[in-house]
Amino acid sequence: MKVSIVTGTYNSEKYVADCVSSINDQSYDNIEHIIIDGASTDGTVAKIKNTPNRVSQLISEKDRGIYDAMNKGLKLAKGEVIGILNSDDFYNSHDVIATVVDCFQDDKVDLVFGNLFYVNQQNTDTIVRKWRSGPYTDNGFKKGWHPAHPSFFVRRRVYEQYGYFDLEFKLAADFELMLRFLEKHRLNSVYLDIPMVRMRLGGATNKSWSNIMKGNKECVRAFAKNELPVSRLYPFYRLVPKLKQYF
Residue 209, pLDDT above cutoff 90: no
Selection from 1, 235, 228, 236 nearest residue 112 by Cα: 1
Q: What is the mean pLDDT of residues 210-230?
A: 92
The DSSP line for the chain is --EEEEEEESS-TTTHHHHHHHHHT-S-S-EEEEEEE---SSSHHHHHHTS---EEEEEE---SSHHHHHHHHHHH--SSEEEE--TT-EESSTTHHHHHHHHHTSTT--EEEEEEEEE-SS-TTSEEEEE------TTTGGGT----GGG-EEEHHHHHHH----TT-SS-HHHHHHIIIIIIS---EEEEEEEEEEEES--GGGSSHHHHHHHHHHHHHHHHHTT----TTHHHHHHHHHHHTT-
Write out pLDDT tens, residues 106-144.
999 999 999 999 999 999 999 999 999 999 999 999 999
Which pLDDT value is given to residue 241? 74
Q: What is the mean pLDDT of residues 230-247?
A: 80
Residue 53 CA to residue 131 CA, distance in Å, equals: 28
Write out pLDDT tens, residues 11-20.
999 999 999 9
Residue 237 CA to residue 198 CA, distance in Å, equals: 25
Chain-wide mean pLDDT for the chain? Answer: 94
Selection from 94, 83, 100, 91 nearest residue 124 by Cα: 91
Confidence of residue 203 (pLDDT cuts 50, 70, 90): low
Which residues neighbour 84 within 8 Å (Cβ) at sequence distance 6 or greater?
5, 6, 7, 70, 73, 149, 150, 152
Which pLDDT value is given to residue 42? 97
Strand partners, 197: 91, 116
CA-based radius of gyration for the chain: 17
- Indicate the pTM of the whole model: 0.94
Residue 208, pLDDT above cutoff 70: no
Residue 119: other Cβ atoms inside 10 A: 21
Residue 239, pLDDT above cutoff 90: no
pLDDT above 90 covers a percentage of the chain that reads 87
Q: What is the mean pLDDT of residues 63-79?
A: 97
Which pLDDT value is given to residue 237? 81
Selection from 128, 144, 129, 117 nearest residue 239 by Cα: 144
Query: CB–CB of 134/191 below 8 Å?
Result: yes
